[in-house]
Structure 1
Amino acid sequence: MWKRLFRRITPETFKNRILLAFLLFLLAPIALLVVYNFKETERVLQDNASAKNIEQLEGIKDGFVDLMSLVMKTGLLLEQDSTLLSTMTKPEQFDPIERKKKVENKFASIENSFFLTGATVYYTLLDFHGNVYTSYIPKSALIYDELKNEAWVQALQSKGGERYKWNPNDDNVVIRERTVSNKMLSLYELLRDDALKPFAYARFSIDYEEWFDRATKGRQDEGTYFLLDSSGRTMFESAPGETVDETIVAGLMGSTAEEPSSSIVDGRDRTLYTFSRVDELDGYLVKKVPLSLLFMEVHKQKQRFFVGFGAILLLFVLLTYFISSTITVPLKLFQRKMESSVKANLKVKLPEQGRGEILALTRSFNSMIDDINLLLERLQLEERQKQFVRFQVLLAQMNPHFLLNTLNTIKSIALDKDEDEIYEICVSLGKILETTLNTEVDLILLKDEIVLIDSYMNIQKARFGHGIQIHYDVNEELQYALIPKFCLQPLVENSLLHGFGQSLKDGRIEIAASSRNSLLYLDVTDNGIGVERAKEKKITRKRKSIGIQNIKESLELIFKNQSTGLTLESTDDGTRVSMHLPLLLSKPYRKEDDIDGNPMARFDRRG
């Protein structure tokens, strides 16, 4: 029943189904969501603005509290300063000018060390010997007896009185050229020595009107900032002429200590007020932001959104209908052609017709058929080659195995008859044959290849008695690099046959290994007759020479598309063959202790 109903209410064609699905599952939900979101936008923006304003006010307040903490630390530094203590307790030991200079220098050093926040702190010290010290020029002359009778000193002198006391409404006693503030925030403190014995009265005054101006500087575009006292009276404002509504002030006064920061909306002029209580000043920081500007941007965004969304929506509907109409027919035709090609065992290609994605899809399908057929041909060819190579290997292993067994017999006879030279030749030839018979390994360690070269040179020396030396330049780590087996020994053989012609003269062959940019570089250099003269002589051999081309093919077969190369060039006194291949280190490796088991332990060796 439900299935029949679904079929009745849904269109038959693919393009109409896409259009219906788009209208029902995309257009309608988006329209409803947009309407709901715009209804919630003003509320969300208001909440975000309130949270941002609270964060800004808290940041300003935290900066002021940090400044007050630094002022308290100033008193601690003054108490712990031995020079200041001696100056205050024993003023008669110092010249008056020198004493005054010492105290003022101390004030200056503390000011330079701590108060880099922009606010200015003014210091006043009274010792118990009739001396007054300040870091500022006072409005009137400083008379010790009058200062001692002021309320702040009397409060510190009273028994049971507080040692610290903050006054947010202290009078400004600084000369008007330095500050125009009427009130200051002052810390009154009784300074004591290490024995907790009082030695001076201190007053640290902060010009917090100056601090307020600097803290709100550059933020006028975000709104207007106010500093209110405990009664709600405006002390400072960042924009002249701005005021806080009386109803808002009443709301601030009714806030509790559990809610030190909050926001209030004035519904009459659509203004957002955010406040943060400053307990240290017994007042409030207030930020005033007109909501009309914020909501004006929202209305502009709403208009732009609906216009753009409507245009894009209409265009998308038309394009969807058109694209779905133009793609369904070619897809059906393409499907039938693909089925025909599959039935023909991928031997038939599709005609490249149409345009756009259909043409690209057709070409990709035809290219895939070509690649599959080429891959099948390669697999068949490689399978035939593997069968042929496997057969040749089986045939080639027959004679070397017989030869190796015979060689072991000769070695045993030579050992029994103390024929050391014959025994050494048999050992060297045996190492070469064992490596040849191990067809399962294509890569061997560089140090093992050097063992093969030494074995070969031992045989050649016994055979021809030449005085050719072979030298190695290979560091310890590169001895464990993996290289194709018999990639260096044939080059040494070519040097003997073509470079020296198996002559009895002395010669030198150098084998060097180095690494650069993840590549292993191998060089075989001799001081023979050179490439050109060797071509002129063309030494006749009974078997085909193992040439450079064979080694190149071996490198290509083993490393395939990886970076490899082999070059042959003449030098001033001989020939150099160079090759490079990927650097493959067998790790971890260990250092050989046996010098005879490690051919590189003897850096230069005679062949």
Structure 2
Amino acid sequence: MIRWFKRLTPETFKNRILLAVLLFVLTPIALLVLYNFKETERVLQENAAAKNMEQLEDIKNSFVDVMSIVMKTGLLLEQDTTLRSALQNPEQYDAIKRKSIVENRFAAIENSFFLTGATVYYTLLDLHSNVYTSFNPSNALDYEELKREAWVEALGKEGGERYFWNPSDSNYVYREQTKSRNMLSLYELLRDDGLKPFAYGRFSIDYEDWFIRTTKGRQGEGAYFLLDASGHTTLQSVAGDSIKKSVVEQIVSTSGEALFTALVDEQEREQYTFSYIPELKGYIVKKVPLSLLFQEVDKLKQRFFLGFSLILLLFVLLIYFISSTITVPLKRFQKKMESTVKANLKVNLKEDGRGEILALTQSFNMMINDINGLLERLKLEERQKQFVRFQVLLAQMNPHFLLNTLNTVKSIALERDQDDIYEICVSLGKILETTLNTEVDLILLKDEMILIDSYMDIQKARFGHGITISYEVGGELLYALIPKFCLQPLVENALLHGFGQSLQNGHIHIKATTKNALLYLEVADNGVGLEKANEMKASRKRKGIGIQNIRESLQLIFKDQSTGVSLDSNGNGTRVLMHLPLLLSKPYQKEDKTNVADINR
């Protein structure tokens, strides 16, 4: 995962900043603005749908008003006594008088509806073979032919409907008066006060003309359509416009009981609002392109993205400028560092620039100076080590001669059966061999104990004292690694300072314990104590061996690890306690010899 992330992210600091700003600043802002635009479009769609529904409601109410005019026309004609008399008793009037009465009544009703802008076409058939119209028919009127039409037969049936509507009545008016293909007609059976039929009436209105006049002032708001029950377009306000077949299917499949419904065609980016008109058995539909709804929003989008692009460009330039003030000095600094490295760290960088770059340059120069100082100290220490090694080699010449001489004395004592001299030579030889082995700083505790025993054997043979020594060392602690000759000087101090020159009988006890990964070594004697020993110090010709030497040896070997030497004394003796890191060397058996291996720290 981390590897893929590194591959996808730029390598340079400048491009990383740019990518971070684009991903975490500009991109969220752009997404938020787009989301707000989307929500604005949604609200605009909802508001537009509500507005369109109100418009369709107005158109629908206007259409209902026109239908009410048609209904009123039939009611007025039915209640007019003069007209009723002419239609019931045509023999009482001559043809011209009777026609004049009917036409005048038609004209009076037309004048009463003048302000509505709707024209009603009247057709009356009395029961005496007379036909009256308020228009010029496209074909000559034949009473017998009209009486055989379906609407007359439907009204003439006993128990049939008194009136009904036909939204698709063929236009029968002279073409000079109206060119509409269909008329909305009300077929009504006119009856007198005794409910006796006296005429058949057909009251038609040119609803295509009404539709055109109603939608004429709304062309900029969208296109209007009238659909029949099957979804076929009967009228449209914009010539050549149409509704997609899939949208028509959705409209037709909608329940006719729904007052108003809105849907959006996402492919064509168009919104449709429609309502069912029961009188027409069809639908009135308004089609609005979303581009028209979102015209202002699109302008805002264009302005926003233009401004956003300019801001993005300026932001990128600004980021490159700011990052360049960091990356360019860093590149220069990198080149200077490379040149300094090639010059073996002997050249300091020029401290120019400001801010973090200046601080970084100063810190680098300080580091170079520290490194050069450290190198000088290392060289000095190396020269000192070489000098000390040379001095050790020189100093080893005499001890080697002494050891060889000691071996000669030991051989002579062995030949002459001088056992005491032989034992002393063996003990002294062990001490000299350990002293000459300068390559080893740490030895086993048990080997240190052997050196102490050798030293005590020499002292007993030399002075003949009765001082004894005992050890309290656990099994595995015999293999603890300690600096060589760290205990022997303490035993020597006990002999010289604790028991004095008298070397009376006494006892020295050496104890080894562990605690918290530390080895504790204790050397205790029952001598005169530290205070009295100091009083006797002035009378001794030989200078005592100081504990400070042991402290320095521990510090040189173990560096900063936990070490220490403490001294405790009273009138009954002296106790020296030393602690150092616990290092165990486990023994192993090989060819019947015990060896030391696997040092565990």
TM-score for the superposition, normalised by structure 2: 0.45
Q: Tell which has more relative contact order, 1 or 2 (C-alpha 8 A, sep 6+).
A: 1
Larger Rg: 2
TM-score with structure 1 length normalisation? 0.44
